[in-house]
Amino acid sequence: MEVDFGKEQRVIFAGIAEKVDPKTLEGKQAPFIINLKPKKMRNEYSQGMMLIAVEEDERDFVPLHPSKSVPPGTKVE
């Protein structure tokens, strides 16, 4: 997926398509880790990692979203 971080766009492979319909993420905000080395996946580079909640039995992946809208690229602490 292509993600807007305010000052830049990055390609992120989240690896959750089997559990989460990517269309449900369009237009929504979510936390990402972007200070990682790019990792080659499927002949392209993933430039970060999406944070999600995973239920104990790993049956359900739950995307995390802020409770209110924040500017793209806002730092998470």
* DSSP per position, 8-53: -EEE-----TTTS-GGGGTT----EE--S--EEETTEEE--EE-EE
The superfamily (CATH) of domain 2-63 is Nucleic acid-binding proteins (2.40.50.140)
Domain limits, the chain: 2-63
Per-residue pLDDT of the chain (77 residues; tens, 9 = 90+): 899 999 999 999 887 877 888 888 899 999 999 999 999 988 999 999 999 999 888 778 889 999 999 999 999 98
pTM exceeds 0.85 for this model: no
